[in-house]
Amino acid sequence: MMSRWKAKHDKEHYYKLAKKQNYRSRASYKLKQLDKKYGLLKPDYNVVDLGAAPGGWSQVVAEVIGEEGTGQIISVDLEYIKPIDHEAYTGVKGDFTTEEIQNTIVELIDGKADVILSDASPKLTGIKDIDNFKSYDLALAVLNISGNILKRDGNLIMKAFQGEAYQDLMKELKKKFRTVKTTKPNSSRKRSSEMYVIARGFKASKR
């Protein structure tokens, strides 16, 4: 009973805080806490936010870039994202798994990304086994995109769900990155199976 009350209280706390501080989503605090702990973002980084709607993570990146930074933030989603008032921001409406959208991203940042972010979740059915594999497929799609839009030695921060395919995903990540850690920020609901992957040092092939 107490754990349910606490989960509801935590959810309401971050929801109210997001409203007060003008963030579009309570999920903004997940990235803020991850960045504080791991130092993931820098003002000169080119960052691609996949599955970005409604834009809460992109807001945090824009804050890090600030007024003096030279980085860029490219936000991609199938849904329309209300533009963020920052000259470094560009929104792209489309399917990030397609070659067309990936080519658009590379053109926009005139090269490749320093960091890929993804807080995306699939549309869940409520059937545990199906949802586990839908989550795995989405995470694997984000990982596979790294080969096209992430710099050598770049970093990937993404959501992953614990389940039957979770260890398979970790194995694939470790093939492509030098270090892989998983964590759960305080703003993530304790009862949720979501975890956040911090993958550093992308092992892109030299060309």
Phi, psi of 95, rounded to the nearest 5 degrees: -90, 115
The answer to whether residue 159 is catalytic is yes
Catalytic residue among 112, 134, 159, 176: 159
Residue pair 99/141 in contact (Cβ under 8 Å)? The answer is: no
Cα gap 146→191, rounded to integer Å: 30
| Residue given tokens 């971050």 in the structure block | 14
Structure tokens at 73: 């933030």
Residue pair 200/155 in contact (Cβ under 8 Å)? The answer is: yes
Question: What is each CA distance from 129 to 101, 170, 172, in whole angstroms?
Answer: 30, 18, 20
Residue pair 135/122 in contact (Cβ under 8 Å)? The answer is: yes
Catalytic residues, by residue number, are: 159
